[in-house]
Amino acid sequence: MNAADLGLPVDVPSTALFTDQYELTMLQAALKSGTADRRSVFEVFTRRLPDGRRYGVVAGTGRVLDAVENFRFDADVLGFLREQRIVDEPTLEWLASYRFSGDIWGYPEGEVYFPGSPILRVEGTFAECVLLETVILSILNHDSAIAAAASRMSVAAGGRRLIEMGARRTHELSAVAASRAAYVGGFNSTSDLAAGFRYAIPTVGTSAHAFTLLHDSERDAFQAQVDSLGRGTTLLVDTYDVTEAVRTAVEIAGPELGAVRIDSGDLLLVAHRVRQQLDELGAVNTKIVVTSDLDEYAIASLAAAPVDAYGVGTQLVIGSGHPTCSMVYKLVARAQSDDPKAPPLPVAKKSLGAKSSVGGRKWAARRVDAYGVAEAEVIGLDTVPSDLVDRQLQVELVKGGEIVAREPLDAARERHVAALAGLPMSAMQLSKGEPVLPTEYA
């Protein structure tokens, strides 16, 4: 059984309209001019990291592969394009049999990136590649922004557990993607059941203040929850008086009480008082979970508090103030004819501002120092130097239109841990600074 079987809005039959109209009008013009079949190379990269961030995190790659696989112009989609006169009939006929048949290489999900990193490389005919621009950028910009925020929060948490709980603060489908990206970035679980169903992310949840207010007394509410969920449940203790609530919670559940949650007040002070009270009551193994508009800075400020887990919502799903990574999808090389053997010619936009790009099909590698710590992101156009051959970052994702690199989500999560471990220690600082690695062009 999958999401589609249940009628859940987490899968769609086609991703073809997750695009901008000019992708199709460019296609129509290229078909008419005879340039549509020219072999082309597009690359996804960002010219800069969000202000003050020291590294980016690649997330959404698995969703990109799904989107490419489902990029099909079915009868309903073609009917819409015809009715709205978006493109002409020859273009509609071409779209009816569209299947991406090219190659895609990219940084594997969970890897870190820096300004100029060729995060994704899409190769094929101009026609088949140009159509994928918007959906690829939509996924990578969103998911990578969430994963970067999650990574910073994970660093700040210092090994304490993190719960993603931002579903009510964003679009319902964005919430599912955000849960997935947060898991890649270091979160341990989600409150969003659609994310748990779609991606097998561990889910958690017990009760809100409404459950306590429903009952005639806090004691009645706690008793009802323990009777239903067991002594290992988490009781919300800040609806009325925290001290009284903790005392009641331990009286009802005993020292086996799983956890208490604090959702308001001076979290640092309240956490210390609650820990002392729990210990005095014999509930020494009862955990403390804190929530309430947390971000990486608030989490870091609680490092000295006896907190066992953090629940994060709003700030996570908005990328902690940076909801996009400003990634772009640019044509960097194309053949001079539609001959499949024609060599690629580097091309690049010329700009007087900050929007210039570097032409050519690129490789990327990460140079390390004598201690195995990364010291530079190296990008080149020609032969990879022998000392960097084993340090290359791009992997094959799609070959001849067939996906070759699907992997469990836990693999991306583990890769991110390894990628962070290979960076200089200054990457873990939350204070604003330049990217922790310089980008060098070989």
- Dihedrals phi, psi of 289, to nearest 5 degrees: -110, 130
Residues in the chain: 442
DSSP-based three-state secondary structure for 376: strand
Q: Does domain 159-317 have CATH number 3.20.20.70?
A: yes
Q: Which of 430, 424, 437 is nearest to 157 (CA)?
A: 430
Provide the pLDDT for residue 11: 52
Q: How confident is the model at residue 353 (pLDDT cuts 50, 70, 90)?
A: low
Q: Which two tokens stand for residue 52?
A: 């003050």
Give dist(CA 363, CA 348) in Å, integer. Answer: 16
Q: Note whether 232 and 213 are within 8 A (CB).
A: no
The domain locations on the chain are: 15-131+326-436, 159-317
Provide the pLDDT for residue 30: 98
Give dist(CA 298, CA 302) in Å, integer. Answer: 7
DSSP-based three-state secondary structure for 157: helix
Average pLDDT value for residue range 382-411: 96
Question: Is a pLDDT exceeding 70 seen at residue 8?
Answer: no
Provide the pLDDT for residue 122: 98
Pick the CATH number of 15-131+326-436 from 3.30.930.10, 3.90.1150.10, 3.40.1360.10, 3.20.140.10: 3.20.140.10
Q: pLDDT of 228-243, one tens digit each?
A: 999 999 999 999 999 9
Average pLDDT value for residue range 190-206: 97
Query: What angle is formed at CA 156 by the lines to CA 150 and CA 161, rounded to 5 degrees?
Result: 70
Provide the pLDDT for residue 355: 73
Q: CA-CA distances (angstroms) from residue 150 to 181, 299, 329, 331?
A: 8, 12, 24, 31
Q: Which of 116, 176, 185 is nearest to 145 (CA)?
A: 185
Q: Note whether 135 and 15 are within 8 A (CB).
A: yes
Fill in the DSSP letter of residue 353. S
DSSP string, 357-375: ---S--EEEEEE-TTS-EE
The verdict on pTM exceeding 0.85 is yes
